[in-house]
Amino acid sequence: MTTVHSTPLLALRAVVAGYGPTTVLDGLAFEMQAGERLAMIGRNGVGKTTALRAIMGLVPLRSGSLQFMGQDIAGLAPHQRAALGLGYVPQTRDIFPSLTVEENLLAGLKRRPRSALDEAYALFPRLAERRRNGGTQLSGGEQQMLSVARALLGQPKLLLLDEPLEGLAPLIRLELLQAFARMAQQTGIATIIVEQQVDEALRYAQRALILDHGTVVHAAPAAELLADEATLERWVGMAVH
């Protein structure tokens, strides 16, 4: 019987990238499938954020290949990658502070009808309650919900989340992760989450990669890694309880 291998949603092969003379990604290689939830963890400065930025086209590749849905996207600009189905929520959140919640969401609609805003409000009811509030009137958690919701309105096939839980209270982190899980189940969207809250990221994800010096040093099912204190201590500098 012949095994049929589906084309991965995303495939990085021997990717080298960095800033100026500094190499940050050094032979980064991994694949992920449609609908998959992937956690990317590691110590500070090992290349996690740069990996997301390289996928999005914000850091140019020096060598290697980057394919999305079987298409080579290394030469495409960020807006072209977004049009293909890549969504990105940066660590800085990047909402428009002078606009209301609803106006921020309208900016993410692209060519979709205004009624599509209901999807964002269903996922984050808190945003519906604050739809007339300005961006500066939102808490950190609400700003993060707004940033994610705006990215989702573009109907990406893969959402890149850079430190979405940073600086948030535990209850808000839990609320966000539950929303991410609902989002994945309802839409089939794939996610890569880069996160310092390692235990929470591993409980959300299905599979995990540990990066060190810009390359993958360990890959495992997330639940398996969650229980592997020795590996976490070695590569991330912590044990999860």
The domains of the chain, with CATH numbers, are: 10-235 (3.40.50.300)
Q: Using an 8 Å Cβ cutoff, are 224 and 39 in contact?
A: no
Q: What is the pLDDT of residue 187?
A: 85
Confidence check: pLDDT of 157 > 90: yes
Tens of pLDDT along 74-115?
999 999 999 999 999 998 878 888 999 999 999 888 788 999
**CA 7 to each of CA 67, 97, 124: distance values in angstroms, whole numbers, following the listed order:** 10, 40, 32
Residue with tokens 């609908």: 35
Reference 52, options 161, 154, 151, 126; nearest CA is 161
Q: What is the pLDDT of residue 239?
A: 55
Q: Is 190 helix (H, G, I), strand (E, B) or coil?
A: strand
Q: What is the pLDDT of residue 184?
A: 86
Confidence check: pLDDT of 138 > 80: yes
Q: What is the pLDDT of residue 154?
A: 86
Computed over every residue of the chain, the mean pLDDT equals 92
Q: Which residues contact 217 (CB under 8 A, 6 or more apart)?
A: 210, 211, 235
Residue 68's Cβ-count burial label (10 Å; 0-12, 13-18, 19+) is buried
Q: What is the pLDDT of residue 240?
A: 55
Cα–Cα distance for residue pair 142/121, rounded to 1 Å: 12
Tens of pLDDT along 29-84?
999 999 999 999 999 999 999 999 999 999 999 999 999 999 999 999 999 999 99
**CA 108 to each of CA 72, 100, 215: distance values in angstroms, whole numbers, following the listed order:** 25, 13, 33
**CA 35 to each of CA 41, 102, 228: distance values in angstroms, whole numbers, following the listed order:** 19, 28, 25
Q: What is the pLDDT of residue 238?
A: 67
* The two structure tokens encoding residue 73: 């996207």
Q: What is the pLDDT of residue 111?
A: 82
